[in-house]
Amino acid sequence: MTTPPTLARRLGLLDAIVIGLGSMIGAGIFVAFIPAAQAAGSGLLLGLVVAAVVAFCNATSSAQLAAQYPSSGGTYVYGRERLGHWWGFLAGWSFVIGKIASCAAMALTFAAYAAPSGWQRPIAVAAVVGLAAVNYFGVTRTAFVTRMIVVVVLLSLAIVVAAGIGTGLPQGGSELGDLFAHGWYGILQSAGLLFFAFAGYARIATMGEEVRDPATTIPRAISIALAVVVVVYAVIAITVLATLGASRVAESTAPLVDVVAAGGWTWAAPIVRFGAAAASLGALLGLIAGIGRTTLAMARQGDLPRWLAAVHPKFAVPHRAEVAVAIIVTILVVSVDLRGAIGFSSFGVLLYYFVANIAAFTQIREQRRYPKALQVIGALACVALVITLPPVGIIVGVLVILVGVAYRIVARRLVDAQT
C-alpha cells in the first residue's frame, strides 16, 4: 500500500496567526454585528463576552488536539482518533457545509461593498474564482495575500474608531445601559451569531500539515490570534453602539460606514468600504483553504469521494478539493440569498467544536495542556448556543446533517458490498 502524498510544511508562526486574523476579522466586524443587534440590542456586548469565552474554551481544545495530531483536517481527524469514525464524520461534515455557506456569504459581502448595483453576483463569482486560484498555486501565497489584507483592514478599523471618538459618542450612549432589554435568550442568540465571527482559528488547526513545528506553532498561533481579535471586536462594538445606538445598528446595512458618516469623515467612507471588501476577501481566502484541507482529510478516509484527496505534484495543495469547493460556492452565490447564512454557519461550526471539546476531554494527562473544566464548559456552551440560534438556521442545519449521514451510510454499504 502506497503512502498518500502529504502537504508541504511552509507556514511559520506569523503566517498561521495572520491566516487566523484574516478569517476572524473579516467575518465578524462587517457581518455579524447586524443580526446580533437585531437579536439582543445593546446586549450584544454581553453576547460578545459569552462568545469570546466559548471561543477561548474551544480554542484551547483545538490547540491541545492539534499539538497531538498535526495533520490536515482539524476536528475531523481529532474526532476519528479520539471518539470514533462517526464522530469525526459529524465534525468534518458540519465544518464543510457550514463553511461553504460562509464562503458564499463572504463573497456576497465583498460584492456589496465593492460592486456597483446590478453587478454584485458576477463580482462575487469573480472573487471566488480569483481566490481559489490563489490557494491553488500554493499556501505561502495564501499567507502573503492574507497578511496584506489584514493590514488594510486594521487601518480602516482604526479610522472608524477615530471617527466615532470624534463624534463625542453622543447618539447611542444612552442605549448602552439597557443591556437586558431583549432578555437572556436574545443575548445567547447574539452570542451564537457572533461566535460565527470567532471561528477563524479553526483554519489554523485544519492547516496543521502545512505548519512548521506544529506542536508549538499551532497552540501559540491560535491563542495569539484569538486574543487580538477579542480586543479588536470589543473596541469596535463599543464604538459602533455608542455612536449609532443598537436600533440603528440593527437597521443598517453598513454600520461601520455609518459611524464614519456620523463623525463627518465622509472622505474616509471609501476607505472603510475598501477595508470591508478586503476583510471579506481575507475571510473568503482563509475559508477556501480550510475547507479544502478538511475535504482532503475526509476524502483520504473515504468519507467523501477519494478523488478529492489528490495533492498537486508541484504546488503541494489539495487542488481537486479546492476546485470542487469553488464550484459549489459559485453555484450558491448565483442562486441563493444568503442573508440568513450566518445562523446556519454557526450551527455547523458549534457542532464542530462540540466534538472538539469532547475529543480533548478524552486526552490523557501527558497530552493535556489545559484543565478538563474548559472542555466541559466549551461543550455545554456549544449546545446552549445551538438551541438559541434562529429556528430557520437550526432546521436547515439538521436537515443537511441528516443528508450527510445518509450519504455516509450508503457509501459504506456500497464499499462493504464490494469487499
Residue 142 has pLDDT above 70, yes or no: no
- Residue 214: phi, psi to the nearest 5? -60, -30
Alpha carbon 40 to its chain centroid, in Å, reads 21
CA angle 181, 183, 187 (to 5 degrees): 100
Average pLDDT of span 116-131: 87
Say which residues have a Cβ less than 8 Å from residue 354's Cβ, sequence separation at least 6: 379, 382, 383, 386
Does the CA dihedral 49-221-72-200 come out positive or negative?
A: positive
The structure's pTM equals 0.81
47 inside domain: yes
* Overall number of domains in the chain: 1
Q: Look at residue 11 and give its three-state secondary structure.
A: strand
Q: At what angle do helices 33-40 and 214-244 cross, to 10 degrees?
A: 60
Q: What percent of the chain has pLDDT over 90?
A: 21
Q: Look at residue 172 and give its three-state secondary structure.
A: coil
pLDDT at site 105: 82
pLDDT at site 359: 95
- Among 190, 185, 184, CA closest to 246: 190
21 confidence band (pLDDT: 50, 70, 90):
confident
Q: DSSP characters for 86-141?
A: HHHHHHHHHHHHHHHHHHHHHHHHHHHHHS-TT-HHHHHHHHHHHHHHHHHT-HHH
115 inside domain: yes
Q: What percent of the chain has pLDDT over 70?
A: 88
Q: What is the CATH number of the domain that holds 341?
A: 1.20.1740.10
- Among 254, 255, 200, 202, CA closest to 228: 200
Residue 171 has pLDDT above 70, yes or no: no
Instruction: Tell me the per-residue pLDDT of 32-80, one tens digit each, with 9 for 90 and over.
Output: 888 889 899 889 999 999 999 998 899 889 888 877 887 666 788 899 8
3 inside domain: no
| Type of residue numbered 141 | R
Average pLDDT of span 1-28: 69
Average pLDDT of span 349-370: 91
pLDDT at site 174: 56
Domain assignment of residue 164, given as a range: 13-418
- The pLDDT mean for the chain works out to 83
pLDDT at site 158: 92
Instruction: Tell me the per-residue pLDDT of 4-16, one tens digit each, with 9 for 90 and over.
Output: 556 566 677 887 8
Residue 131 has pLDDT above 70, yes or no: yes
2 inside domain: no
Tell me the C-alpha distance between 131 and 108, whole Å: 14
Q: Look at residue 211 and give its three-state secondary structure.
A: strand
Longest dimension (CA), the chain: 72
Alpha carbon 336 to its chain centroid, in Å, reads 20
Instruction: Tell me the per-residue pLDDT of 264-273, one tens digit each, with 9 for 90 and over.
Output: 888 888 998 8
